[in-house]
Amino acid sequence: MLNKTQIKVRGYHLDLFQHVNNARYLEFIEEGRWAFFDEFFDDNDWMQQDLVWPVVNININFKSEANFGDVLEVQTRYTKIGNRSITMQQTIIKVPTNEIVVEADVTYVCFSKAAKAAIPFPDDFRQRVELSIAAFE
């Protein structure tokens, strides 16, 4: 599954150099992840469970700048699942040129609030993720 979320660059996204500040890209990819989860999970039932999904690593590469008025598309998909961790690939492109602005890999863990520890993914979740990953291979 690939989720595509569009964001229009506003004045408050800009820094002194009049391009999108690097910290804003983290917010953009987070918005992309939330949109992905809205589509991937049924009725946010995952938020009702004992589980939370803390981010433990982000690797981000800045490829080109974005400016006021640009329409950006955040593309989000799962790429790898381990026993307790999962990685998403997120790419931000400019619409309509498809110029890559940012590429990021985001890793998070399946964390039990009750156990206060990372735990193995539930089988039903693992199967859905594996199917999602296989769709791109």
User: Which sequence positions are flagged as catalytic?
Assistant: 15
When computed from its CA atoms, the radius of gyration of the chain, rounded to whole angstroms, is 16
Q: At a CB cut-off of 8 Å and minimum separation 6, what does 6 contact?
A: 71, 72, 73, 74, 95
CB 78 within 8 A of CB 129: yes
CA distance between the termini of the chain: 11
